[in-house]
Chain A
Amino acid sequence: MAVTTFPAARATFRTCPVTTLKVDIAAERLIIANAVAAVVFLALGGLFALLLALTRWQAIHLLPADWFYRVLTGHGFDMLVAWIVFFEVAGLYFGSAILLNARLVGPRLAWLAYALMVVGAVLVNVMVLMGQADVMFTAYVPLKAHPLFYLGVILFAVGALIAVLLFFATVWVAGREGRYQGSMPLVTFGLMVAAIIAFYTLVSGALAFVPAFLWSLGLLPYVDPGYFRNVFWSFGHPAQQINLAAMVAVWYALATITVGATPLNEKLSRLAFVLYALFINLGSAHHLLSDPGPGFAWKMGNTSYAMYLAVLGSLIHAFSIPGAIEVAQRRRGLTKGAFEWLRKAPWHEPGFAALVLSMILFGWIGGVTGVVIGTEQINMLAHNTLRLPGHFHATVVAGTTLAFMGLTYYLIPLIFRKELKLKKLAQWQPYVFGVGMFLTILGMIGSGLLGIPRRHWDITFTNAPLQVTLPGAAQITLAVMGIGALIAVVGGILYLAVVLVSVFTGPRVEASRLTLVMDRRNPLVEQAIPNMGKEVTEKIAPRGTVILTFAFLVFFMAYYLTNWWLLGRMWWIR
């Protein structure tokens, strides 16, 4: 290991033997700290998930009502905020300092950001578990929590905001110090878009939570519930779209790591990211479609991301990433028919399995259901039913979380500098987790279509003053959700086992190759770098991807039109 010190900057570097990148030791330590915190909150949120699934599975109905709502609040925060944002901060430091060969600007500030985030997240969890904040992740006013709950969220957001600003500073300084040649890599570009979205997301979070905090202290007499919903969702929804941009960046990274894919057309892929940055925050209106207040034009304009331009961004990636994989595979000689490249893909390489499952579950289920329930009128069929958790478990869990899990396996040798242990488990893990989440999501969406509400302890209404009978088929769909969640929890435990055993018992070794279980290859160096920007000839053009994406469009259309048909059978309303 070679350690070099730049005279101009007080940073210590080592050179990674696999990627030949210079690694700032301070950045490396921060990446490790943030990744560890992320995994801790994933484990806690996963435990909560298990308890929730076993409660909503009506045949088991494990938790009492108060604990169900308490645990649901904790699950929402730990998964949607703590796990994801900690991992993203690790990703931002990796994408800026490491991928750009640069030094991390302000490591001390980065540690302060980390401390704020840890204190904030712990405060929220303590308040929730003490029963002082039974308000759900959304904390809609005038439902009131203990002031320390709001303070915890604010501290976490401030910490994350500092980390985002350090990312911008690092990218800027790297450019000024000439640490990389040409344009920044697409992965860093994607993370840059994620950071831009994160910036306005976190500012919106402050606009929602600071007034709520003051109100909980009695310093403000009233916070308008309509105002709160609007600014809360300018935080809550784009927060998940930071994940989207970060996850797509991770998809490009995993495609490079596992098969040596390079972007087909940098111009198009970057345009897609720019569409995200410009339009995706309009999606916060998805949560206000069935609300009193805003009119049709406001709802329609916002929910459609100004003519679905952010959706167009996703459609571009939906072609570009599988297309890039196909071209890389065809370059290797897998040119028979439309799908030889896919049949002979490295399905046993965990990063590839995670990438493909994440793309399918995110796109075919998460994306399609998102557009459908985000259609102004159709929203009345879905608002606050289990279809919503069905949608965002497909995006955030089966999509983002699975992609992040896949990436972790590669960060362990490269950043933690530990040999990956339990490789067989790592190979199976994406499939177990993916199948489990698929069933969970299917159960949720099926239940939602039957009218089953989300965030509800007892859909049999045993002690309610009036008798209510919901469709009996819900017993089956909720059981599917419960069984799926159990399988996904097993997948989560496998992930934790691989990570913990590798980090704590693996010997400290310098990584010698990029892939984990494929033969001793390094697709990044052997394929991606030599083929960067080379022309795509007819023989290696992505024909299979064209077929796949058009099949996707047919499926999309069928689900979309079915929902209009369902809406047409409802009572008339205006």
Chain B
Amino acid sequence: MVSPQALWWKPLHRYEKTWLIVGLVFCVFLTAMMPLWFVLGKQNVPTTTYRVDPLQYAVFVTRWAEANKVDTINNIPVVAPAPGSDVYLLGRQWQWYPVLKLQKGQTYRLHLSSQDIQHGFSLQPTNLNLQVLPGYEYVATITPTTGGEFAVICNEFCAIGHHLMVGKIIVTE
């Protein structure tokens, strides 16, 4: 709170110097972890994105789901795509469409986009969360490593029905 004397450019105390070096090393470690995981890790943020017209995407996914459906749950089509194929999920007020049936250990190209406003793709209980924007087609290459029924909830506020917006991914062993 007081103005220092004119000459305050002084050498550091031994303790300060130690802490500064330890801190710097720690920062380098934190930085290095991300590229290391990018190369070696199995869980990385997807980097493929395409521009898309929101309504065209909605029409495309609806046709794809109707053509490939194997079942329905509460009038929502259930699609069981072939392993390795492109899989589509549409977010809209207030639904994740359609229900997907995947196989454990198989890899899929999961496309995510929105028909209207922003949504949050939140897969539970795996706890995998991605942002979904209208106009952006986000492509994630995913491999389910656990089986069972997973809920897709919306975790980006999307107006009054936000807490009703759910979907489902079923993973068979």
Tell me the B2-60 residues at the A interface (CB within 8 Å): 2-6, 8-10, 12-16, 18-20, 22-24, 26-28, 30-31, 33-35, 37-38, 41-47, 49
Question: Number of contact residues on A: which range applies?
Answer: 35 or more
List 14 other contacts, CB 8 Å, given A65-B163, A183-B6: A143-B158, A185-B3, A186-B4, A265-B10, A265-B16, A296-B38, A296-B47, A375-B30, A377-B37, A455-B162, A465-B76, A571-B123, A571-B126, A572-B43
| A219 interfacial contact with B, CB 8 Å | no
| A529 interfacial contact with B, CB 8 Å | yes
| B143 interfacial contact with A, CB 8 Å | yes
Q: Whole-angstrom distance between the alpha carbons of A308 and B73 in the complex? A: 48
| A441 interfacial contact with B, CB 8 Å | no
Q: Is the beta-carbon distance between B45 and A464 smaller than 8 angstroms?
A: no
Nearest residue (CB) in A for B13 is: A536
- Can you list 12 A-B pairs with a CB-CB distance of less than 8 A? A181-B3, A183-B3, A186-B4, A453-B154, A465-B164, A468-B124, A524-B1, A529-B2, A545-B15, A567-B41, A568-B43, A572-B107
Q: Whole-angstrom distance between the alpha carbons of A178 and B37 in the complex? A: 55
B residues in contact (CB < 8 Å) with A: 1-6, 8-10, 12-16, 18-20, 22-24, 26-28, 30-31, 33-35, 37-38, 41-47, 49, 73-74, 76, 95, 99, 107, 112, 116-118, 120, 122-138, 140-146, 151, 153-160, 162-168
Of the candidates B24, B124, B157, the one whose C-beta lies within 8 Å of that of A455 is B157
Q: Whole-angstrom distance between the alpha carbons of A24 and B77 in the complex? A: 72
Specify which chain A residues have a CB less than 8 angstroms from the CB of B159 in the assembled complex.
134, 143
Q: Is the beta-carbon distance between B43 and A573 smaller than 8 angstroms?
A: yes
A192 CB to nearest B CB, Å = 14
Q: Is the beta-carbon distance between A376 and B45 smaller than 8 angstroms?
A: yes
Nearest residue (CB) in B for A556 is: B26
Nearest residue (CB) in B for A256 is: B1
Of the candidates B3, B41, B45, B151, the one whose C-beta lies within 8 Å of that of A182 is B3
Q: Is the beta-carbon distance between B2 and A296 smaller than 8 angstroms?
A: no
Q: Is the beta-carbon distance between B120 and A143 smaller than 8 angstroms?
A: no
B18 CB to nearest A CB, Å = 8
Q: Whole-angstrom distance between the alpha carbons of A262 and B5 in the complex? A: 12
Of the candidates B24, B34, B45, B144, the one whose C-beta lies within 8 Å of that of A290 is B45
Q: Is the beta-carbon distance between A533 and B26 smaller than 8 angstroms?
A: no
| A2 interfacial contact with B, CB 8 Å | no
Q: Is the beta-carbon distance between B8 and A533 smaller than 8 angstroms?
A: yes
Specify which chain B residues have a CB less than 8 angstroms from the CB of A568 in the assembled complex.
41-43
| A7 interfacial contact with B, CB 8 Å | no
Of the candidates A315, A380, A564, A573, the one whose C-beta lies within 8 Å of that of B19 is A315
Q: Is the beta-carbon distance between A185 and B2 smaller than 8 angstroms?
A: yes
Q: Is the beta-carbon distance between B120 and A468 smaller than 8 angstroms?
A: no
Of the candidates A383, A459, A528, A541, the one whose C-beta lies within 8 Å of that of B130 is A383
B3 CB to nearest A CB, Å = 5
B103 CB to nearest A CB, Å = 13
Give the tally of cross-chain contacts (CB within 8 A).
298
Tell me the A209-257 residues at the B interface (CB within 8 Å): 224-226, 229, 252-253, 256-257
Specify which chain B residues have a CB less than 8 angstroms from the CB of A543 in the assembled complex.
15
Q: Whole-angstrom distance between the alpha carbons of A289 and B34 in the complex? A: 12
Nearest residue (CB) in B for A461 is: B166
Known: A292-B137, A379-B45. A570 touches B23 (CB 8 A): no
Q: Is the beta-carbon distance between A308 and B30 smaller than 8 angstroms?
A: yes
Q: Is the beta-carbon distance between B142 and A291 smaller than 8 angstroms?
A: no
Binds B, one of A85-93, A109-117, A299-307, A340-348: A299-307
Q: Is the beta-carbon distance between B19 and A571 smaller than 8 angstroms?
A: no
Of the candidates B130, B141, B164, the one whose C-beta lies within 8 Å of that of A574 is B141
Q: Whole-angstrom distance between the alpha carbons of A545 and B18 in the complex? A: 12
Q: Is the beta-carbon distance between B164 and A461 smaller than 8 angstroms?
A: yes
Of the candidates B16, B37, B76, B122, the one whose C-beta lies within 8 Å of that of A451 is B122
Q: Is the beta-carbon distance between A465 and B27 smaller than 8 angstroms?
A: no
Of the candidates A66, A289, A381, A453, the one whose C-beta lies within 8 Å of that of B155 is A453
Nearest residue (CB) in B for A567 is: B43
* B interface footprint on A530-565 (CB within 8 Å = 1, 0 otherwise): 001100100001110110011001001000100010
Q: Is the beta-carbon distance between A184 and B3 smaller than 8 angstroms?
A: yes
